[in-house]
Amino acid sequence: MSEQAYAQLWQAEVAGLQPLEMAVAGGHLAHNLAQVFIAGYQAAIRASFALNNSHWIAYVASEDRTPGSLQSAVTYDPVNATISGVKTWVAAVKNIDSLVVKVGQGAQARYLHLSVASPGVRLTPRPPGQFLADLSQGSVEFDQAPVLPEQQLDGRVAGQFRFLEPLYIYVAFLAFIKPRMTESGQVDALLSMAAILAGADFQLSATAQQYALFDQGVQDCLRQFEAQATPASESWATDRRLIEMYSNAIQQRATVAE
């Protein structure tokens, strides 16, 4: 199933669900790990920024901050209420309808929700790399793109995204592998654990410990799935890193929280 076909199916059957249910439903419909990523990513964006749009959204934060780079960081002009600059990574660039744009760094950062059809917004797809090759990717340039007051999001909850993105990607992955496994009891237990984590305070040490246990369970399910089932796509060998790449940070936070 192509990304475009998956987007249409997602909009018909998944849009409008609450984030946890969205990740489960999206993961169940996925045909590869790129679509598992999208399923979890869309749920995490909605949970982090209290959005309920029926279309796909990309969260754009990455910038080239190399001195002398021609791709300048995105800045906000308070006089004209516009933004200009480049974000270097946009997920599902061919099928998104809007962007959550991080402007600035740290506690002073702004978070804006702009349509890709807004004046001064230009998306540029790029050829796929090896990792998540089935996911369209690209960049976005803002050229004095106007920002309305109602497009500014509450930045106080934005910090949750770094916790919620792996959580919901894991949930989508569990929903993806469940019907393909001979025994799914551990998957069900982990999905129940995810429901608790979704409403937890990630600043608490107890949450960090629970998240680490959840991560360990997901990694165990990955190994079990690979032992029991034939990988669902040719890209599996490369894309399986999606399920492993968050683990170190999750485990390190638990160690620090001890």
CA distance 80 to 101: 17
Residues of the chain short of pLDDT 50, as ranges, are none
What pLDDT is recorded for position 230? 66
CA distance 118 to 67: 29
Cα radius of gyration (the chain): 18
pTM: 0.95
- What are the residue boundaries of the structural domains of the chain, listed by start? 3-46+158-257, 59-153
What pLDDT is recorded for position 114? 98
CA distance 5 to 19: 21
User: CATH: 2.40.110.10, 3.40.470.10, 3.40.50.300, 1.20.1270.10. Which one for 59-153?
Assistant: 2.40.110.10
What pLDDT is recorded for position 57? 98
Buried-exposed string 40-75: b where 16+ CB fall within 10 A, e elsewhere? bbbbbbbbbbeeeeeebbbbbbebeeeeeeeeebbe
CA nearest to 134, candidates 12, 234, 22, 27: 234
SS3 143: strand
Tokens at residue 248, please? 């170190």
